[in-house]
């Protein structure tokens, strides 16, 4: 199974990050917006971000709108918040493989990796 997926976990609350907006961009001559999605109750999006013929070798960027999510979650934040939009730029080198890019989020830090 090939394609691109993501999910977001809120490590400050120990729960999936429901309602977090995400944009997917692809680098061509400049970055072009591919898709806007919002995470569901499991912190995932309802379908693959890229699949089938749309899943191609290239440079991509996921933009996680963490600031809006963290404010809605009711966490005590500084103003302005330390984290707002988190860009994660990555490359897809093999369109026959599956790429999963999760985000582990807290108000003052985040982590990501290539998952399976």
pLDDT tens digit sequence for 22-40: 999 999 999 999 999 999 9
pTM (2 d.p.): 0.95
In the block, tokens 């999760």 appear at 102
DSSP H helices, 1-116, are 66-72
Supply the pLDDT for residue 116: 84
**Cβ–Cβ < 8 Å for 66, 83:** yes
Whole-angstrom distance, CA of residue 5 vs CA of residue 103: 11
Supply the pLDDT for residue 110: 98
pLDDT of 50 over the 90 cut: yes
Q: How would residue 61 be classed by pLDDT, with cut points 50, 70 and 90?
A: very high
Whole-angstrom distance, CA of residue 57 vs CA of residue 103: 22
What tokens were used for 35?
Answer: 């898709």
From 4, 69, 9, select the one nearest 34 (Cα to Cα).
Answer: 4
């Amino acid at each position: 199974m090939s394609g691109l997926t993501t999910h977001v976990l809120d490590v400050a609350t120990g729960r999936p990050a429901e309602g977090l907006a995400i944009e997917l961009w692809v680098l061509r001559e400049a970055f072009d917006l591919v898709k806007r999605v919002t995470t569901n109750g499991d912190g995932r999006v309802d379908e693959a971000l890229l699949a089938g013929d749309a899943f191609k070798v290239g440079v991509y960027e996921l933009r996680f709108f963490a600031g809006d999510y963290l404010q809605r979650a009711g966490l005590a934040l500084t103003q302005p918040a330390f984290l707002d939009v988190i860009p994660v730029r990555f490359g897809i080198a093999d369109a026959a493989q599956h790429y999963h890019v999760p985000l582990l989020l807290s108000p003052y830090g985040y982590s990501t990796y290539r998952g399976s």
